[in-house]
């Protein structure tokens, strides 16, 4: 599903590499936590998977494709097989819940009939049935993140990337979001989630990958957040 081979990435005008010689593999259907302090390289790791950035050296394979050899115009098609969720939700404030989810399908040219059918389905899945016509501003943080997850999942992606999806949410709400991600994972979708939330990582007991100053320092199945925190 995802393979990193000796990946090094340095941003321009910075001495220290954001990622240094990272090698790992994530299999289909896995649920992986990506932990590490700020600046450890978590975001760079995710951006490389999304091909927002390219590696300096080393190879990144996502969904069986070598991203270095993927031409620019094919990148959108690659991203359609990925779902992404962020800490700040990234919803369109002037569109309703249903429109926000439908937007993801409209811009990739899905027919109207498909959109009308799948949007209610996925909203039902994330537990937002009946709130289709609400505006994001009227929803709680947890509900907004559910909209974002619905949008990420509406295209039934093979891989879901979540960058601190519970970062803005209280612990109770976070648990709800994690249950939802777990359910999505059980449908066969691979989930890679960067997080700072110790409780969640410790409770879920999933594979944990820890980065520190750009290096891979721990890769543990059924791991916990860490000892030093």
Partner 1 sequence: MRAHFVLSEIGVGLRRNLTMTFAVIISVALSLALTGGALLVNKQVDAMKGYWYDKVEVTIYMCNKSDAASTPNCARGAVTDDQKASILKDLRAQPIVEKVYFENSEQAYKHYQEQFKSSSLASTITPDQMQENYRVKLKDPTKFAIVASLFEGHPGVQSVVDQRDTLKNLFGLLNGMTTVAWVVLAFMLTVAMLLIVNTVRVSAFSRRRETGIMRLVGASSFYIQMPFIMEAAFAGLVGAGLACVMLLGGRYFMIDAGLRLQEKIPLVSFLGWGPVVRELPLVLGIGLVMPAVAAFVALRRYLKV
Report in angstroms how near the CB of residue 138 gets to partner 1 at its nearest. 18
One residue of 112, 179, 183, 205 binding partner 1 per CB under 8 A: 112
Q: Is 113 in the site for partner 1 (CB under 8 A)?
A: no
Contact 158, 83 (CB under 8 A): no
d(CA 92, CA 94) in angstroms, rounded, equals: 6
Give how far the C-alpha of residue 52 lies from the chain's centroid of Cα atoms, to the nearest Å: 13
One residue of 13, 14, 38, 109 binding partner 1 per CB under 8 A: 109
Q: Is 48 in the site for partner 1 (CB under 8 A)?
A: no
- Look up residue 179 and give its two tokens: 């249950």
Given CA atoms 48, 34, 196, 9 in this order, what sign does their dihedral have? negative
Compute and round to an integer the Cα radius of gyration of the chain: 18
Per CB under 8 A, which of residues 179..208 are in contact with partner 1?
none
Nearer to partner 1, 15 or 72 (CB): 72
Q: Is 97 in the site for partner 1 (CB under 8 A)?
A: no
Q: Is 106 in the site for partner 1 (CB under 8 A)?
A: yes
Within 8 A by CB and 6+ apart from 126, the residues are 146, 147, 149, 150, 153, 180
With contacts defined by CB under 8 A, name the span among 24-32, 38-46, 102-110, 216-224 that binds partner 1: 102-110
Report in angstroms how near the CB of residue 227 gets to partner 1 at its nearest. 35
Residue 95, sorted as left (phi over 0), alpha (psi -120 to 50) or beta, turns out to be beta
Q: Is 151 in the site for partner 1 (CB under 8 A)?
A: yes
One residue of 8, 118, 155, 168 binding partner 1 per CB under 8 A: 155
Per CB under 8 A, which of residues 56..85 are in contact with partner 1?
72-73, 76-82, 84
């Amino acid at each position: 599903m995802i393979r990193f081979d000796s990946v090094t990435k340095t941003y321009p005008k910075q001495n220290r590499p954001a990622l240094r010689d990272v090698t790992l593999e994530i299999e289909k259907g896995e649920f992986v936590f990506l932990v590490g302090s700020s600046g450890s390289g978590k975001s760079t790791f995710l951006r490389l998977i999304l091909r927002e950035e390219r590696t300096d050296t080393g190879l990144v394979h996502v969904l069986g494709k070598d991203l270095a050899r993927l031409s620019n115009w094919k990148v959108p098609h690659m991203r359609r097989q990925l779902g992404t969720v962020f800490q700040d939700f990234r919803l369109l404030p002037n569109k309703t819940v249903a429109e926000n989810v439908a937007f993801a399908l409209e811009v990739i040219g899905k027919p109207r009939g498909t959109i009308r059918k799948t949007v209610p389905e996925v909203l039902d899945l994330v537990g937002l049935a009946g709130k289709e016509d609400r505006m994001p501003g009227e929803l709680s943080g947890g509900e907004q993140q559910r909209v974002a997850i619905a949008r990420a999942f509406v295209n039934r992606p093979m891989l879901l990337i979540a960058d601190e999806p519970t970062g803005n949410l209280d612990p109770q709400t976070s648990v709800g979001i994690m249950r939802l991600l777990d359910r999505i994972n059980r449908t066969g979708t691979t989930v890679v989630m960067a997080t700072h939330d110790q409780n969640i990582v410790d409770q879920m007991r999933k594979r944990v990958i820890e980065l520190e100053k750009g290096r891979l320092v721990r890769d543990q199945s059924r791991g916990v957040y860490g000892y030093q925190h």
